[in-house]
Each structure stands twice: as structure tokens, then as C-alpha cells.
Amino acid sequence: MFEKINGWDLIPGEFYVLKGYITISKAKMIGYKEATGIFETSIGKFVIDLHHWTFYRYVSDEEYKKKCKEKYDETCLDAILKRLVNETFTW
């Protein structure tokens, strides 16, 4: 499972899938330099413009299930609160 992530939220040292003019299946983020990111792949280092590329992060099954459960719990809690409290009530 892959999660689309903003180019400015990339964490140095993590691996990402990059999609732009070409698709790079596995690239390690090294760091930022102005409006670009420096990535290391199996064929070398690349400096990539963060505005013209789409970045994806691999999400493990455990992390995906945890996020789904948290979203489900939040939805259930909202439904219960709307039944107990007037809908115009705000925190």
C-alpha cells in the first residue's frame, strides 16, 4: 500500500517512490537543498524539483490497519456525540 505524501514532508533517510517524467521505484531521501530534494537510487544521486514530482511512501499492513481503526473509531464517536448532544453544539 502506498500513501501520497507532500514533497515538503519527506523525511531524510526514508525510502520513497517518485513519479514524474519517469517513475523511480525506490529512492532514499538524503536531504533538501532550496526547492529541491536530493535522492539516492541504485544508479546514482539525483536532485529533483519538489514541485514537479509526486511522492509516495510505503505503508505497512499494520500501519494501514491502525489508521483505518482510528478513522473508524473517530467516525463512531462523532455519530454517538451527535445523538447525545445537539448538532449545533461545538467544542
- Could you list the pLDDT tens digit for every one of the 91 residues in the chain? 888 998 888 999 999 999 988 888 889 999 998 889 999 998 899 898 888 899 999 889 999 999 999 999 999 998 888 888 876 766 6
10 and 54 co-located in one domain = yes
Number of domains in the chain: 2
Residue 89's contacts (CB-CB under 8 Å, 6 or more residues apart) are none
Q: How far apart are CA 82 and CA 53, in angstroms?
A: 41
67 and 91 co-located in one domain = yes
Beta bridge partners of 2: 58
Kindly tell me the sign of the dihedral angle through the C-alpha atoms of 17, 20, 23, 26.
negative
Q: How far apart are CA 5 and CA 57, in angstroms?
A: 7
42 and 81 co-located in one domain = no
Q: Can you tell me which residue has the cell 511522492?
A: 55
- CATH code at position 48: 2.30.30
> What's the domain range around 43?
2-59
Q: Can you tell me which residue has the cell 519527506?
A: 10
88 and 52 co-located in one domain = no
